[in-house]
Amino acid sequence: MLWRASNTHRNRETAMPTNRRFLLKRRPHGEPVPEDFELASEAIPEAPAGGLVVRNHFASLDPAQRGWMDDAPSYMPPIALGDPVRATTVGRVHASDNPDFAVGDWVMGLNALEDYSQVMPGGFTSPIDVSLTDSPSKFLSAMGAVGLTGYFGLLEVAKPQPGEVLLVSGAAGAVGSVVGQIGKIAGCRTIGIAGGPEKCRRLIDDYGYDVAIDYKGKDVATLAAEIRAAAPEGVNIIFENVGGDVMDAELLNLAKHARIVLCGLISEYNAPEKVGVRNLWQVLTQQATIHGYLIMDYAPRFAEAGKVMAQWMQDGRLRIDEDLQEGLENAFPAFMRLFSGANTGKLVLKIA
Amino acid sequence: MLWRASNTHRNRETAMPTNRRFLLKRRPHGEPVPEDFELASEAIPEAPAGGLVVRNHFASLDPAQRGWMDDAPSYMPPIALGDPVRATTVGRVHASDNPDFAVGDWVMGLNALEDYSQVMPGGFTSPIDVSLTDSPSKFLSAMGAVGLTGYFGLLEVAKPQPGEVLLVSGAAGAVGSVVGQIGKIAGCRTIGIAGGPEKCRRLIDDYGYDVAIDYKGKDVATLAAEIRAAAPEGVNIIFENVGGDVMDAELLNLAKHARIVLCGLISEYNAPEKVGVRNLWQVLTQQATIHGYLIMDYAPRFAEAGKVMAQWMQDGRLRIDEDLQEGLENAFPAFMRLFSGANTGKLVLKIA
């Protein structure tokens, strides 16, 4: 990672507040390395006509950002080289040329890993009521895209019925921990797959899973046998965050007409060659369905679902853990926690 | 393949009519070889209490039979070693202990590759009206599981809308040729993928495809580019019969919310290690759905759909080609035509 020395130097001289921006400098090949990025320091922008400048306080770090760094067909354009890494942020209005937003208002929106974001009219930015929660960061976890990804993915895509078996991979992660808990609220028997004994302990103790399975060091056949032992009649719903060997083992345990919510494939985001799944054949024989799932279609219902999530948190039925990392200067190591298996709970970068 | 010499010898001596049966002797490893089977000759069975003996005239040869030869979880139990290879057949009642069936009646059912099948009460056997078509074999093609697999898979699972782009792999095959034609009836733009110039010619001339793509000798990137040229906006429906590289190329061309009917994966039925798909990621980003599809759930509607298919054939809107092979003694080479790419149209073995 390189700092723009000239800017840094100038800013030291003038002591002007600056806008630090975490730029994508080149497209990562496989696992990102520090040299793929650059922390630049620029002048704070002015509000565009009809728009805003937002002072970012918290930014969401998500596996999806890795996909946006590739120049590949996706649901969003790739991040342009030289642009800051796109991120959902929560912050306060710093400057406004829009009558709907006053300076100081809390907002969330699709911005970037930077101190200040210029927000054009007509974007995704919306006001948030921070009084609903103990921290504005909750709008990036429970009540943000990640928590609501679990909410809509399970309740609206999989449509769980009481008594069904729900299998979640990446079960201790930001989405997985929410899915398991909502699965219990919906009356399912829940099986979580995670890496290592500590995460498996959390599945049981913190997120109420009925069964925890540690995938580490196990081949597909061994993992498949452990799932079978936990669900001899097969699983009705798979909430997939991982892919690869884990998903192959899961697919060997489908109940007839199983529904698979394909929410993420984190095991292969950094793989130069995609792995996919080998046991697709089981989807056919069990007449299962794989639903490629992104939360965007549910955006009009975020406020409604956020209130339900806030209520569940107040009632003690939903526990949300955040992995709060601090400082834009730590953006790279913080982001890499997603792939090392280091983080538990929703990864958030505190910017200010 | 071994013949039971003693039986053959005895039968020559006595000139008794016998029941030749194409037995599974051992489970194929990868591509079947003649030694996996045995053509035995046994006495013609008697009707069981409440059941029938059917003289098989035509038997359906289908990729699914290869799956039944494996000892693997599937939607049906594996064929037991020493049992004849399970097959859907059309034939006439030879002996009856059931008041609903008279000797001479035409019936179809799930029997086996053998001259005579003992049919137990309560099975899948049902009477057929051979006057609807020019040959009873049509009940194994257009009006049988294969033709109706195309019918229900396209119309009920994919639910095509006029103007949508339909992409079919194995497009010159028994199912694919039906799917393409029904796609045109439903108002779709149809793109067929098949192997070799002759099959591609048939896609256009015989089955009315708008575009034919030859997959032979092309890698995933090349094939994907050809699909993109034919469907720049992406494909709305994929009717998948092939899997592997072909499916990977297709997945790079999904329109948003595409529906994939996963009907077959013939490219890997003989593969000792499953391949699956590598570009599963695209299913997520395009919010596509993969429907594992077997026709069984639609069995109660076969008669209704068969009449529609018969009418389309009479009206000249639906062309059904049969690849008719003759003789139980040719069961092995006939079956292998499914995998060599030799057959076009529905493969049927004429037994009598």
A144, A58 Cβ separation under 8 angstroms = no
User: What pLDDT, in 10s, does the model give residues B33-52?
Assistant: 999 999 999 999 999 999 99
Mean pLDDT per 10-residue segment, chain B (352 residues): 43 68 96 97 95 97 92 85 96 96 95 96 84 90 90 98 98 94 98 96 97 97 98 98 96 98 88 86 96 91 89 93 95 93 85 96
Q: For residue A256, is pLDDT > 80?
A: yes
Sheet holding B289-292, edge to edge: A211-214, A189-194, A165-169, A235-240, A254-262, A289-292, B289-292, B254-262, B235-240, B165-169, B189-194, B211-214
The amino acid sitting at B245 is D
DSSP, residue by residue, A31-73: S--GGGEEEEEEEPPPPPTT-EEEEEEEEE--HHHHHHTSSS-
pLDDT reported for residue A7: 44
| Burial of A237 from C-beta contacts in 10 A (0-12 / 13-18 / 19+) | buried
Rama region for B250: left / alpha / beta (φ>0; ψ in -120 to 50; rest) = alpha
Q: Is A210 on the interface with B (CB under 8 A)?
A: no
pLDDT reported for residue A42: 96
pLDDT reported for residue A275: 84
| Burial of B104 from C-beta contacts in 10 A (0-12 / 13-18 / 19+) | exposed
Q: Give A292's contacts in chain B (Cβ within 8 Å).
A: 282-289
Q: Bridge partners of B54?
A: B93, B117
| Burial of A170 from C-beta contacts in 10 A (0-12 / 13-18 / 19+) | buried
Contacts of B134 (CB under 8 A, 6+ apart): none
Beta strand A2-3 pairing with B86-96: unpaired
DSSP, residue by residue, A179-241: HHHHHHHTT-EEEEEESSHHHHHHHHHTT--SEEEE-TT--HHHHHHHHHHH-TT-EEEEEES
| Matching residue, tokens 């919010």 | B287
User: What confidence tier does A15 reach under pLDDT thresholds 50, 70, 90?
Assistant: low
Q: Give B71's contacts in chain A (Cβ within 8 Å).
A: none
Measured distance CA(A263)–CA(A237) in Å, rounded? 13
The three-class DSSP label of residue A289 is strand
Q: Nearest-CA distance from A135 to chain B in Å?
A: 31
The dihedral through the CA atoms of A186, A191, A194, A197 has a sign that is: positive
Length, in residues, of chain A? 352
Measured distance CA(B254)–CA(A145) in Å, rounded? 24
Which tokens hold the place of A128? 């948030």
Beta strand A18-24 pairing with A37-43: antiparallel
Q: Give A273's contacts in chain B (Cβ within 8 Å).
A: 278
pLDDT reported for residue B8: 44
Fold designation for B2-141+321-350: Quinone Oxidoreductase; Chain A, domain 1 (3.90.180)
Q: Is A292 on the interface with B (CB under 8 A)?
A: yes
User: What pLDDT, in 10s, does the model give residues A272-293?
Assistant: 778 899 999 999 999 999 999 9
- High-pLDDT (> 90) share of chain A, %: 77
In which element (H, E) is residue A339 found?
Answer: helix A331-340
Q: Nearest-CA distance from B167 to chain A in Å?
A: 18
Q: Nearest-CA distance from B4 to chain A in Å?
A: 35
Q: Bridge partners of B20?
A: B41
Torsion of the alpha carbons at A176, A182, A184 and A188, rounded to the nearest 10: -80
Fold designation for A145-295: Rossmann fold (3.40.50)
Measured distance CA(A314)–CA(A309) in Å, rounded? 9
Which tokens hold the place of B71? 């000892």
Cβ density class B186-225: b for 16+ within 10 Å, e for less: bebbbbbbbbeeebbebbeebbbbbbbbbbeebebeebbe
- Of the candidates B278, B284, B294, the beta carbon closest to that of A262 is on B284
Chain A, chain B: beta-carbon pairs less than 8 Å apart: 107
In which element (H, E) is residue A111 found?
Answer: strand A106-112
Measured distance CA(A38)–CA(A26) in Å, rounded? 10
A25, A32 Cβ separation under 8 angstroms = no
Q: Is A73 on the interface with B (CB under 8 A)?
A: yes
User: What pLDDT, in 10s, does the model give residues A138-196?
Assistant: 999 998 888 999 999 999 999 999 999 999 999 998 899 999 999 999 999 999 999 99
Cα dist from B241 to B198, B262, B263, B268, whole Å: 19, 7, 5, 11
Q: Which of B135, B215, B132, B131 is nearest to B173 (CA)?
A: B215
Task: ipTM value, please give it.
Answer: 0.80
Q: Give A290's contacts in chain B (Cβ within 8 Å).
A: 280, 283, 289-290, 292
Measured distance CA(A115)–CA(B325) in Å, rounded? 73
pLDDT reported for residue A4: 44
Interchain proximity B75–A276, CB inside 8 Å: no
| Domain range annotation of chain B | 2-141+321-350, 145-295
Q: Nearest-CA distance from A5 to chain B in Å?
A: 38
Contacts of A120 (CB under 8 A, 6+ apart): A48, A50, A51
Cβ density class B285-311: b for 16+ within 10 Å, e for less: bbbbbbbbbbbeebeeebeebbebbbe
pLDDT reported for residue B15: 56
B278, B221 Cβ separation under 8 angstroms = no
Q: Give A74's contacts in chain B (Cβ within 8 Å).
A: 285
Q: Is A157 on the interface with B (CB under 8 A)?
A: no
| Greatest distance between any 2 Cα atoms in chain A | 69
Q: Give B291's contacts in chain A (Cβ within 8 Å).
A: 289
The amino acid sitting at A140 is L
To the nearest whole number, what is the mean pLDDT of chain A?
A: 91
Q: For residue A255, is pLDDT > 90?
A: yes
Q: Give A262's contacts in chain B (Cβ within 8 Å).
A: 280, 283-284
Interchain proximity A287–B292, CB inside 8 Å: yes
User: What pLDDT, in 10s, does the model give residues A291-300?
Assistant: 999 998 898 8
In which element (H, E) is residue B257 found?
Answer: strand B254-262
| Matching residue, tokens 């069990």 | A286
Q: Bridge partners of A323?
A: A347
The three-class DSSP label of residue A174 is helix
Contacts of A5 (CB under 8 A, 6+ apart): none
Cβ density class B262-281: b for 16+ within 10 Å, e for less: bbbbbbbbbeeebbbbbbbb
Measured distance CA(A102)–CA(A168) in Å, rounded? 42
Q: For residue A9, is pLDDT > 70?
A: no
Interchain proximity A274–B292, CB inside 8 Å: no
Q: Is B289 on the interface with A (CB under 8 A)?
A: yes
